[in-house]
A and B are shown apart, each in its own frame.
Chain A
Amino acid sequence: MAVDVRFPTVLRAHTDGAPVVSAEGSTVGEVFADLVARYPGLSGQLVDATGTMHKFVNVYLDDEDVRYLNQLDTKVGEGAEISILPAVAGG
Chain B
Amino acid sequence: MSTAFESPTLRLTTGQYRIIVGHCYDGLPDEACGLLAGPMIGARPTGVVSEVYPCRNADASARSYTVDGRDYLRATRDAESRGHEIVGVWHSHTHTDAYPSSTDVRQAVDPAWLYLLVSLRDGSPVLRSFRIQEETVAEVPVGLVG
A→B interface (CB under 8 Å): 6, 8-10, 12-13, 17, 19, 56, 58, 60, 63, 65, 83, 85-91
Contact = CB atoms under 8 A, between A and B. Distances in A.
Interface residues of B, number: 33
Interface in B42-64: 43, 59, 63-64
Given A9-B43, A13-B43, A90 B100 contact: yes
Contact of B66 (A9, A12, A89): A89
Interface stretch (B5-13, B15-23, B67-75): B67-75
A89 B64 contact: yes
B contact patch SS: mixed
Interface of B: 33, 35, 40, 43, 59, 63-67, 69-70, 72-73, 76, 80, 85-87, 89, 91, 100-104, 107-113
Contacts of B40: 9
By Cβ-Cβ distance, the 8 closest A-B pairs, closest first, are: A91-B103, A90-B104, A10-B110, A89-B66, A88-B67, A86-B109, A58-B69, A91-B64
A19 B79 CA distance: 13
Contacts of B103: 90-91
Contacts of A13: 43
